[in-house]
């Protein structure tokens, strides 16, 4: 199994030897390696069993460092970076030839972000390369929010996990890009769209894709437990499945008739709900229930990103 500790120098030593580590961030834990080496990036795809057409996000410590790997940084991107980095925002930028094709799945743009996590930032500052770091889980499965989740899923495939406690945001970053002078949201995430629009005005939100994605995290089926999950009205779904052991994931109400009933936030706090989403899905998946039933949360603020993850968790392809 993987070694787990909080020594960033040990993490650097392993990364410098072209191996992979589990990396804590404020969104979820990442599976990290040198994003400038195609042979290392290839290991990430292999360990995750991730399709090569799904591009990766690169992580760095400053806008100045990122500028070394892109052709330009639009003014709108600079405004967003100044306001929200470090934080759960990923920005798509035109890449230069220092980034391997494999990292970006052959696309002409690269996804960059600066994580708001003290361990991740401290590590990135002592590296002379950005880290490619998709979520540290088998492709399509529930994203990990603590080191033990990574150990359970990938501990036999990587040598080291950097300990960083639980991820505070709990869902992946919001991804933005720019098309014809318009700002586009490619993936809803831990930064609310409303916060972006307060700063730069109205943005366009794209639906996720089931074919070749234009950015990381756009596939239709994703973030899913192994057990079947059905999304809808919980009371109706309970009535429709009287013989099954049910696991229920609700926004704020407990259901005593369920085998296991978990609430995202009894106080209806969207930040708490986002933080709990993946860990609660994991608990239900690891339980003895026959079926997981869940409901959407109010579609406001982070609720839009939570519903996006729930919708994709319930899609079977």
How does residue 220 score in pLDDT terms, banded at 50, 70 and 90? Answer: low
Question: Is residue 146 scored above 60 in pLDDT?
Answer: yes
**Ordered alpha helix ranges (H), the chain:** 8-16, 38-48, 63-66, 75-84, 118-125, 147-154, 193-200, 234-240, 270-286, 303-313
Query: What average pLDDT does the segment 191-197 reach?
Result: 97
Of 94-98, 136-140, 277-281, the poorest mean pLDDT is in 136-140
User: Which of 316, 3, 313, 37 lies closest to 154, judged by CA?
Assistant: 3
Question: Is residue 211 scored above 50 in pLDDT?
Answer: no
Contact yes or no for 284/247 (Cβ under 8 A):
yes
**Alpha-carbon gap, residue 92 to 187, rounded angstroms:** 11
Query: What average pLDDT does the segment 93-122 reach?
Result: 97
Three-state DSSP at 179 gives strand
**Alpha-carbon gap, residue 235 to 31, rounded angstroms:** 38
Contact yes or no for 215/111 (Cβ under 8 A):
yes
Domains located in the chain, CATH noted:
3-72+92-169 (3.90.870.10), 229-313 (3.40.50.11030)
pTM over 0.85: yes
Query: What average pLDDT does the segment 248-261 reach?
Result: 96
Q: What are the strands, taking DSSP E only, across the chain?
A: 3-5, 21-23, 30-34, 57-59, 89-94, 109-113, 131-132, 160-162, 174-179, 182-187, 204-205, 229-231, 246-250, 260-263, 291-294
Q: Which stretch, 4-13, 48-57, 137-146, has highest mean pLDDT?
A: 4-13
**Alpha-carbon gap, residue 143 to 279, rounded angstroms:** 8
**Alpha-carbon gap, residue 266 to 260, rounded angstroms:** 16
How does residue 221 score in pLDDT terms, banded at 50, 70 and 90? Answer: low
Look at residue 258 in the predicted model and tell me its pLDDT: 95
**Alpha-carbon gap, residue 38 to 228, rounded angstroms:** 36
Check the CA dihedral 77-82-84-86 and report its sign: positive
Place of tokens 């599976």: 31
Look at residue 210 in the predicted model and tell me its pLDDT: 46
**Alpha-carbon gap, residue 225 to 109, rounded angstroms:** 31
Instruction: Name the CA dihedral angle for 81, 84, 90, 92, rounded to a multiple of 10 degrees.
Output: -30
Query: What average pLDDT does the segment 58-64 reach?
Result: 98
């Amino acid at each position: 199994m993987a070694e787990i500790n909080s020594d960033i120098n040990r993490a650097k030593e392993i990364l410098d030897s072209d191996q992979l580590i589990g990396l804590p961030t404020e969104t979820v834990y990442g599976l990290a390696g040198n994003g400038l080496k195609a042979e290392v990036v290839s290991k990430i795809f292999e360990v995750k069993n991730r399709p090569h057409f799904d591009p990766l996000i690169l992580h760095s410590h400053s806008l100045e460092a990122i500028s070394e790997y892109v052709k330009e940084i639009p003014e709108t991107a600079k405004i967003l970076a100044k306001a929200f980095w470090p934080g759960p925002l990923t920005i798509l930028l035109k890449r230069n030839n220092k980034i391997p094709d494999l990292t970006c799945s052959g696309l002409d743009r690269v996804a960059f972000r600066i994580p708001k996590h003290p361990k991740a930032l401290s590590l990135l500052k002592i590296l002379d390369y950005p880290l490619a770091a998709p979520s540290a889980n088998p492709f399509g499965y529930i994203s990990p929010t603590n080191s033990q989740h990574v150990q359970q899923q990938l501990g036999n495939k990587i040598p080291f996990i950097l300990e960083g406690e639980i991820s505070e945001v709990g869902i992946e970053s919001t991804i933005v890009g720019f098309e014809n002078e318009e700002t586009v949201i490619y993936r809803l995430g831990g930064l609310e769209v409303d916060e972006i629009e307060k700063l730069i005005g109205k943005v366009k939100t794209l639906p996720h894709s089931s074919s070749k994605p234009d950015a990381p995290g756009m596939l239709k089926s994703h973030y899913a437990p192994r057990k079947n999950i059905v999304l809808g009205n919980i009371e109706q779904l309970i009535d429709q499945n009287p013989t099954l052991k049910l696991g229920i994931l609700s926004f704020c109400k407990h259901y005593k008739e369920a085998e296991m009933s978990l609430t995202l936030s009894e106080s209806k706090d969207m930040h708490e709900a986002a933080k709990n989403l993946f860990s609660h899905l994991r608990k239900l998946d690891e339980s003895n229930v026959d079926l997981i039933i869940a409901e959407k949360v109010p579609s406001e603020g982070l609720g839009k990103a939570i519903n996006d993850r729930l919708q994709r968790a319930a899609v079977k392809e």
